Chains A and B, each alone.
Chain A
Amino acid sequence: MRRLLAILILSFLSYSCSPSSSSKNPYEIVLWEMEDAQVAPYIDETLTNFCDYYLKKYSIKPSISRTHYQGEDLRQQFQAASLAGVPPDILISPSDTAGLYAISGFIKNLEKEIDFSIYNKPVIEAVALEDKIWGVPISNGNHLMLFYNKKFAPNAPQNTQELFDFCAKNKGKFDYCLAFDMGEPFWLMPWLGAYGGWPLKDRTPTLNTEAMIKTLKFYLSLKYDKKISPPECDYNCMDSLFKEEKTPFIINGDWALSSYSSALKDKFGVALIPKLSETGLWPSPMISGKYFLVSSSVSPEKMKVIKELMLFYTNKENQIKQYKVLKRLPSLKEASFAKEIVSDPLSAASMAQILKGKPMPMAVEMRAVWDTARNYQGLATTRKMTPEEAAEKMQKNVEKKIEEMNR
């Protein structure tokens, strides 16, 4: 009986002292991230290095706890925690949700804290909203490019005509010539750019355009006329096709660089998404990156530590290390031209693709664009709707959704 009582009391005690997600102590920092699992060791290592560095510099050792959330979970949890008054101190997140947090007032704008001129300009543009900058860039990119298998094609095509010729000539050597996720609008944007369009102008959607119609028709011709691309293929499908060497070309993002180069080894090549012969323009993938976002509830004392952390994490040494480990391009200007990065053909190709890209708009209106475009793009490219009708309805619906969002 006495033992039972002891257990009872002990368990009561252990529940009553539970940790909360954010601490007033400026040296206890809570960080949430939504990275791919392979990135976690790198983050942990860099954070540990930072703690040691800080100890040396200020003779106080901060402690940082990292929690991983899946994409949507991170957003929901961060919003809930911010409402409950216990948000984490910093996030590592892509820029697409930053607009949301900025409008809700959950994150700080940082231009007073940090000198952003040391970072590459496009990667800053992707996290700027109404002349305010909301995040510190960790890496540059998150952009699509062309990967190819040298077993089939020793060189990448320069333009789409070359690509089509190659595909026609080598039919039968592979299942499909070019695989990419035709259901996700993220993969549509480079081509839209190559036809001279772009989804948002300032904060107004521009989807019912000649460019959009042409892009959708281009998809149809890839799928049904030229039969270059698989008729039904999502991310996992295209990924398998490329890894299993059933397709010579794939359009995928820089996040896949390291896994493809280890899967294909010498046969792996990176190139620009081929120029669109029809217009003579280069496809323009959306450029963003990974960013530190700082919760608006962070106290000034803690902000000092966090500022040190962000600067340390993005210093030249770490930026180069990040490239070596994760194949992610630096956001720091100084590191972008370091010889370790310039001399590597993979990074050179990736960098060249960034130069052809455009920053991803951070505005919340983009959410409505993604959601709507996905629906009508899907309908148009499975021939349930004409491209003209799809483009028209896309525009109408985006406008409606944006109005509802703000009403």
Chain B
Amino acid sequence: MSSVISSLAEIISFIILIAAAVAAIELYLWSHFKYHNKKLILYSLGIFFSIAFAFVFKLSGFFSVKVFSLFLIWELFLIYASKNLLKGKKYLPYLLAAPAFLGLAALLMYPFIFQVYLSFHDLKLTTIMKWKETGELPFAGIKQYIAVFTVPPLAETGFFKLLWRTLAWTFVNVFFHVLGGFILALMLSEVKAFKGIYRTLLVVPWAMPQVVAVLAMRGEFHSQYGFVNVMIKKALAIFPWLASLGITPVNWLSDYPLLTCVIINIWLGIPFMTVIILGGLQSISKSYYDAASIDGAGYFQKLYYITMPLIKPVLMPAVTLGTVWTFNNINVIYLVTGQAGGTEQADILVSALYKAAFTYNRYSYSAAFAMVIFAILFSISVSYSKFFAEKKEGKT
């Protein structure tokens, strides 16, 4: 009992701590926005916060002139922005979004700048000690970026082949995630009994620790002892005519490693989409369907004209993010092809990147590689969001 209380206290103290930080941020921004036309107050606020900032960071031992001058520049920008751009109007959305974005910036700004820096320099095994001691690296210009495209990152497979493979991997996975998720969600929303039980059982692959889940699934694809081939053999024994359709036991792991990975990854990813789509289906009012029924619309018509468009705002972020995640997800590939990598038949861009980074310690090259992946994903998602935005306008 006491442990429950202490754990509650622990959770609550974390939450209070972060709430205090959020409150501080809000107060800081609000005071700037609020007093935009009172010069004296605004500038004294700036001075006050600069001193407070310096004090807090001195305490935490993280203070440096660089950090402080960055803060001063930010402070000036904020004063300028609240005076000339916002002018006290419509600052609520900024206040609402600020904690989230400051958190993201704090977490990801440094790693991102770090990657950019590395990608234009030359960090590898032999320069690493020099870097540690002097903090300087030989400048490499765009050499690393050129190498990404011209030198095959793996033994056999070049960059563009890998890119193609990655795109196919992403597309197939996301497509089946959405399709499977849609079907299951529709079934779940229409079934009447045992809803909760089904819903819980269907999310098992999502809830299970991935490592064991994938390794167990991998065992099922073993050419001899795995469930899949055993079942195929049994089916063949009962229905010999299946063989004429080309169904035979297959060496999944050595002949079709990528296909095996795709099947396992689809299995892993469907529950997530199911839950998202199920949530989206809840937002659609029954009255739409009733109205359509009166007009004599069939099931699939209703699906196409009512469900699809109305679910889009919920589905679109899931699809976009799902694409980004799948593109960069090698958990399944890593575990299925053997942790050391196996042959290259199942490698995608990111697994090639990790090989360069971790097997060969080519830090700068892999940083450039990561930036290229970033750029590819960025352009894909910008075009995605354009696509969805146009659709939206078309509707209204």
Contacts and interface: CB of A to CB of B under 8 A. Distances in A.
Interface of A: 4, 7-8, 10-12, 16, 72, 75-76, 79, 82-83, 85, 100, 103-106, 175, 183-184, 230-232, 234, 236-237, 364, 367-368, 370-372, 374-376, 378-379, 382, 393, 397, 401, 404-407
Contacts of A404: 151, 360, 362, 365
A406 B365 CA distance: 12
Contacts of B362: 404-405
A234 B338 CA distance: 8
B254 A405 contact: no
A404 B344 CA distance: 19
A374 B131 CA distance: 32
A367 B359 contact: yes
A374 to B, nearest CB: 6
A82 B361 contact: no
A378 B358 CA distance: 21
Contacts of A379: 343
Report, nearest first, the 3 A-B pairs whose CB atoms are least far apart.
Answer: A105-B129, A378-B343, A397-B155
Contact of B155 (A82, A234, A375): A375
A11 B17 contact: yes
B73 interface: no
Nearest to A382: B254
B13 A82 contact: no
Contact of A372 (B155, B219, B223, B224): B155
Given A374-B343, A406-B125, 7 more contacts: A104-B361, A184-B340, A231-B224, A375-B342, A376-B155, A378-B343, A382-B343
A7 B20 CA distance: 13
Interface string B6-33: 0001001110110010000000000000
B355 A100 contact: no
A393 B359 CA distance: 19
Interface of B: 9, 12-14, 16-17, 20, 60, 124-126, 128-129, 131-132, 151, 154-156, 219, 222-225, 251, 253-255, 338-344, 355, 358-362, 365
Given A184-B340, A376-B155, A382-B254, A82 B132 contact: yes
Contacts of B358: 72, 75-76
A16 B60 CA distance: 8
A187 B344 CA distance: 19
A313 B219 CA distance: 40
A81 to B, nearest CB: 11
A7 B9 contact: yes
Contacts of B339: 72
Contact of B126 (A103, A183, A184): A103
B129 A371 contact: no
Contacts, number: 109
A10 B128 CA distance: 40
A108 B249 CA distance: 54
A100 B359 CA distance: 10
Nearest to A401: B360
B251 A382 contact: yes
Nearest to A72: B358
A367 B340 contact: no
B338 A375 contact: no
Given A8-B16, A11-B13, A232-B223, A375 B156 contact: yes
A367 B338 contact: no
B251 A232 contact: yes
27 contacts: A7-B12, A8-B13, A8-B17, A10-B13, A11-B14, A16-B60, A72-B339, A72-B358, A83-B128, A100-B125, A184-B340, A230-B224, A231-B223, A231-B224, A231-B251, A232-B223, A368-B359, A371-B359, A372-B155, A374-B343, A378-B254, A378-B343, A382-B254, A401-B360, A405-B124, A405-B362, A406-B125
Taking each of A10, A82, A231, A405, which has the highest tally of chain B beta carbons within 10 Å of its own beta carbon?
A: A405
Given A11-B13, A103-B126, A367 B360 contact: yes
B127 to A, nearest CB: 9
B20 A8 contact: yes
Contacts of A234: 338
B124 to A, nearest CB: 7
B254 A232 contact: yes
A104 B129 contact: yes
Q: Quick one: which of B17, B156, B225 has the most chain A CB within 10 A?
A: B225
A327 B156 CA distance: 41
Contacts of B17: 8, 11-12
B156 A104 contact: no
A109 B394 CA distance: 70
